[in-house]
Structure 1
Amino acid sequence: MNISFSYDRKQVIQALRYHFFSRPEIRLLVILINVFTIAAAVLLYFKRIQPFSFLLFSTLWMALMLVIWRILPNSIYKKSQTFRDEFLMSIDEQEITLTTDRGRQSWPWQRFSKFIETPYFFHLYFDNRSFFLVPKDAFENITDQQAARDMMKEKIRAAGS
């Protein structure tokens, strides 16, 4: 199966947000900040703490969300040449091959550690931090998209076993 694609900025930013929020350390940090902010609000309501403490936790929460939701995805998008390239991808039983104006790269299925599907992309992970995005809208029809999904699930699950 062959597909060609380029990336849409808004969709990539959303995919990067999903990636960051799926990281256990980010998720734990967000949960802890939320718990402390809620606790500070309750304690402020019962006049057990000063308003400054609530303001501090609220500011931490807003800063964390700003960094994860806006700054981090946008900075990665701007720094990466990958998101500005045009791609031709070939998916077959043995490997995935990616071709751009700058070159060609092939990865056997065993190279991928996991596969995640989000609203706009298939995320093909090499390890916990590096991955490749395959846009769903690159497929000609839903049948091709389903065939690719099934192959990715089968091959990457088999590779991870």
Structure 2
Amino acid sequence: MQISMSVPYDEKQLRRTLRFVLRPQLRTIRVLGGVLFVLGLALVALKPSMSLAYAALVLGLLFVVAIPPITVAQSMRVQSDVIRDGLHMTLDDEWLTLTYPLAESRFRWSGLGRVIETPEVWYVMFGKTQAITIPKDPMTEEQRATFSAFVNGLRPADATPAVRRGSTI
């Protein structure tokens, strides 16, 4: 397999990728916020004059509604300016290579954890929080089929599948 493509910077896709990577942590925060909110409601019902009940309600709402978008926005702000110029991506049998104008990263396929496929991209995971987004748009249909077959062939038949079909984030 030898696939080479230019990938322009896409802020919306970067935001979706960050939400994808942060999803497990944000889910926990939202659940805790929901529990805190319900606890606050119960305390208000039992004792409306208790200020702690209102604090629990407000904190619960913050955890459910405000913290996830703030976390993603903060993650967007701390991204390096290097990525804003787009990149050149090369996929071959041994390496995934990302070449930016000022930096280069290489990942061996042998370090692959899993691949999640969505309608627009593949999220290639090298660990729990290291996700490389491989967009489908710059690829031809033949390249998509070649890459999909390559990724499916990375795991032995008796192992768990490397590719999981996902929904759009």
TM-score band by shorter chain is 0.7 to 0.9
Aligned residue identity for 1:96: L
Q: Secondary structure at the match of 1:138?
A: coil
Cα RMSD for the two superposed structures = 2.8
Gaps of 5+ in 1: none
Aligned residue identity for 1:33: G
Gaps of 5+ in 2: 161-169
Find the counterpart in structure 2 of residue 105 from structure 1.
105
Separation in 1 of the partners of 2:42 and 2:119? 36
Find the counterpart in structure 2 of residue 140 from structure 1.
140
Q: How does 1:8-157 map to 2 (within 5 A)?
A: 8-23=10-25, 26-42=26-42, 44=44, 47-50=45-48, 52-64=51-63, 65-69=65-69, 71-80=70-79, 81-141=81-141, 143-155=142-154, 157=155
Separation in 1 of the partners of 2:60 and 2:148? 37
Percent identity, aligned pairs only, is 20
Shift in alpha-carbon separation, 1:112–1:53, aligned structure 2, 3 A: same
Of Structure 1 and Structure 2, the greater helix share is in 1
Deviations along 1:130-157, one digit per CA (max 9) or x if unpaired, are 222222323234x4334323423432x4
Deviations along 1:80-121, one digit per CA (max 9) or x if unpaired, are 235313211121222212222224433220122222234543
Separation in 2 of the partners of 1:79 and 1:133? 18
Shift in alpha-carbon separation, 1:36–1:61, aligned structure 2, 3 A: closer
Separation in 1 of the partners of 2:138 and 2:4? 10
Deviations along 1:50-99, one digit per CA (max 9) or x if unpaired, are 26445323322333332322x22222222223531321112122221222
Cα pair 2:114 2:125 within 8 Å, conserved? yes
Shift in alpha-carbon separation, 1:36–1:75, aligned structure 2, 3 A: closer
Q: Secondary structure at the match of 1:50?
A: coil
Aligned residue identity for 1:11: Q
Separation in 1 of the partners of 2:93 and 2:71? 35
Shift in alpha-carbon separation, 1:18–1:105, aligned structure 2, 3 A: closer
Calculate the TM-score normalised by the size of structure 2.
0.71
Aligned residue identity for 1:35: V
